[in-house]
């Protein structure tokens, strides 16, 4: 026996990705990824980089100079925000009403921050008035951070009132927009957000692997006036900004094909237009919610604050979560998400993000559901 094992060519099955991400990808994005790569310091690649930054500014609705994709998934954007701004003993307040708020707490603690939490039940929003009251009592807070679209629960956090309060304060307003960017309204400048990061695999419909981030001048001032060096070399924005800026200083080899993918993904977003795209997510998301309610399913997230691109529903008694989701995937090619953490086995999370956000996918899902549970 030669001992050599044969590895077959990849032949992944077709899927309708209606989970919490990744979403389906437009063929144009796949095509962009398969175009021949360029060197990461090639002048032609620099023009692609510049266009990506320009398009990201349009999508984030910001004029922030430092608006770039970080190499790594959405969590790399979260780490970038915290490791670049926190110094040991800094006071950081975090809104926690789901798994990703919890993750922010974990990351901030690892940076040595003194973390104070504003907790709320999963599925509910954190009352902006409560946030403002807390911030009034803690004017020495370095960062207030919150998740815009809490993917673990399906709740959409209102941000405007908090941003308006923090606008003329020293506290930085950090927002996780991993799931919201490109699928619902998000106005970084108008809402006074200082640091906002996202992920490519949700409403931008680009594979996972990059995390767009944007920093206000206030955040950049804090970054550049830090006493200590940024704790992570790889995510150090003072180095990375020199690669994305005029200097083109080598930091790490840019993931060229992923950046090609993002370039095409952003072109598609802007061709559709942000307004139309947001409206599409709202209409299709509302349709799914209405139909599920007609079938007697109870929605999990707080009424009036439900995400358009991610619908969370309570599983009716007697429905076997794992068995049903396995059958949906195996027999219908439809992926949906189960609950995370304390909602495991209790809810489903149905995503309609970017390319996946189509009425025909909702109809297919409902037909499959009918066949499976009547």
List interacting residues with ligand PLP (CB under 6 A): 20-21, 73-75, 78, 100, 147, 149, 151, 176, 178-179, 199, 208
* Cβ-based neighbour number of residue 6 at 10 Å: 4
SS3 42: coil
The b/e string for 257-282 (b: 16+ C-beta within 10 A; e otherwise) is bbbbbbbbbbbbbeeeeeeebbebbb
Which of residues 191 and 197 has its CB atom nearest to ligand PLP in the complex? 197
Which of residues 24 and 151 has its CB atom nearest to ligand PLP in the complex? 151
Question: Of all residues in this chain, which one has the CB nearest to ligand PLP in the complex?
Answer: 74
> Least distance (Å) from ligand PLP to the CB of residue 78?
6
Which of residues 80 and 369 has its CB atom nearest to ligand PLP in the complex? 80
> Least distance (Å) from ligand PLP to the CB of residue 200?
8
> Least distance (Å) from ligand PLP to the CB of residue 142?
21
Tokens 């900004």 identify what position?
Answer: 241
Tokens 């940024």 identify what position?
Answer: 230
> Least distance (Å) from ligand PLP to the CB of residue 354?
14
Which of residues 45 and 101 has its CB atom nearest to ligand PLP in the complex? 101
> Least distance (Å) from ligand PLP to the CB of residue 101?
9
- Report yes or no: 101 and 95 within 8 Å, Cβ to Cβ: yes
Rama region for 89: left / alpha / beta (φ>0; ψ in -120 to 50; rest): left
The b/e string for 167-196 (b: 16+ C-beta within 10 A; e otherwise) is eeeebbbbbbbbbbbbbbbbebeebbbbbb
- Report yes or no: 176 and 98 within 8 Å, Cβ to Cβ: no
| Cα 81-255-40 angle, rounded to 5 deg | 110
> Least distance (Å) from ligand PLP to the CB of residue 153?
10
Spatial distance between the Cα atoms of 354 and 365, rounded to a whole number of angstroms = 17
Count, residues in the chain: 374
Tokens 């990849």 identify what position?
Answer: 10
> Least distance (Å) from ligand PLP to the CB of residue 261?
15
Cα 125 to its chain centre, rounded Å, is 17
> Least distance (Å) from ligand PLP to the CB of residue 342?
16
């Amino acid at each position: 026996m030669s001992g050599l094992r044969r590895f077959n060519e990849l032949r992944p099955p077709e899927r309708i990705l209606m989970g919490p991400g990744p979403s389906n990808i437009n063929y144009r994005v796949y095509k962009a990824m398969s175009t021949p790569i360029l060197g990461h310091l090639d002048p032609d690649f620099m023009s692609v980089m510049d266009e990506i930054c320009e398009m990201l500014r349009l999508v984030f609705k910001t004029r922030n100079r430092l608006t770039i994709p970080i190499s790594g998934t959405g969590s790399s954007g979260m780490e970038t925000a915290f490791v670049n701004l926190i110094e040991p003993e800094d006071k950081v307040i975090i809104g926690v009403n789901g798994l990703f708020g919890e993750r922010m707490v974990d990351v901030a603690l690892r940076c040595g921050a003194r973390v104070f939490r504003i907790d709320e039940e999963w599925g509910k929003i954190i009352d902006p008035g409560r946030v403002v009251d807390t911030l009034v009592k803690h004017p020495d807070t370095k960062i207030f951070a919150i998740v815009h679209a809490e993917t673990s629960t399906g709740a959409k956090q209102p941000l405007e009132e908090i941003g308006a309060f923090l606008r003329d304060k020293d506290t930085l307003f950090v927002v996780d927009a991993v799931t919201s960017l490109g699928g619902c309204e998000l106005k970084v400048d108008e809402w006074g957000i200082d640091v906002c990061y996202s992920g490519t695999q949700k409403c931008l419909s680009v594979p996972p692997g990059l995390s767009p981030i944007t920093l206000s001048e206030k955040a950049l001032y804090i970054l550049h006036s830090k006493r200590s060096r940024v704790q992570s070399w790889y995510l150090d924005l003072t180095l990375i900004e020199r690669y994305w800026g005029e200097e083109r200083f080598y930091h790490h080899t840019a993931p060229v094909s992923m950046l090609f993918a993002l370039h095409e993904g952003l072109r598609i977003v802007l061709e559709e237009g942000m307004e139309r795209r947001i409206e599409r997510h709202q209409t299709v998301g509302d349709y799914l919610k209405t139909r599920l309610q007609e079938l007697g399913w109870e929605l999990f997230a707080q009424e009036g604050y439900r995400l358009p691109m991610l619908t969370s529903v309570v599983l009716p008694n007697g429905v076997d979560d794992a068995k049903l989701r396995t059958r949906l995937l195996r027999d219908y090619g439809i992926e949906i998400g189960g609950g995370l953490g304390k909602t495991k086995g209790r809810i489903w999370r149905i995503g309609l993000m970017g390319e996946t956000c189509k009425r025909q996918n909702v109809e297919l899902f409902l037909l499959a559901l009918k066949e499976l549970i009547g």
